[in-house]
A and B are shown apart, each in its own frame.
Chain A
Amino acid sequence: MATQVVDHSALKVNQTAIVTTVLVAFAGSAFYRPLLVLIPLLAIVLLLGTFAPQLALFKQLYFKILKPRGIVKPRPVQDRPEPHNFAQGMGGVVLAVASALLVPLPVAGLALALLVAVLAFVNVAFGYCLGCQIYYQLGKAGVIRAS
Chain B
Amino acid sequence: MSTQLWALAVAGVVVLAAACLEVVRARSARARALGATAEAASEPYLLYFTGEGCTVCRTHQEPALAKLGSVRVDKVDAIAERALAERFHVYTLPTTVVMSPEGRALHVNYGYAAAPKLERQLAEARGAMQVATA
Whether A136 contacts B93 in the complex (CB less than 8 A), given A79-B55, A83-B55, comes out as yes
B1-32: which have CB < 8 Å to A?
Answer: 1, 3-4, 6-8, 10-11, 14-15
CA distance A30 to B4 in the complex (A): 7
Q: Which residues of B contact A78 (CB under 8 A)?
A: 58
B102-118: which have CB < 8 Å to A?
Answer: 111-112
CA distance A107 to B9 in the complex (A): 9
Q: Which of A40-48, A56-64, A65-73, A139-147 contacts B (4 or more CB under 8 A)?
A: A139-147
State how many angstroms separate the Cβ of A108 from the closest Cβ of chain B: 7
Q: Which residues of B contact A129 (CB under 8 A)?
A: 55-56
B66-93: which have CB < 8 Å to A?
Answer: 77-80, 82, 85, 91-93
Decide if A111 touches B10 in the complex (CB within 8 Å). Answer: yes
Number of contacting residues on A, CB 8 A?
A: 36
Decide if B4 touches A26 in the complex (CB within 8 Å). Answer: yes
The yes or no answer to B101 lying at the interface (CB within 8 A) is no
A13-71: which have CB < 8 Å to B?
Answer: 26-27, 29-30
CA distance A30 to B56 in the complex (A): 37
Contact partner of A147 (CB less than 8 A), chosen from B15, B58, B80, is: B80
Contact partner of A107 (CB less than 8 A), chosen from B6, B52, B53, B55, is: B6
- Subset of 16 A-B contacts with CB under 8 Å: A26-B4, A77-B59, A79-B58, A83-B55, A107-B10, A111-B7, A111-B11, A127-B55, A129-B55, A133-B93, A140-B78, A140-B79, A140-B82, A146-B79, A147-B77, A147-B80
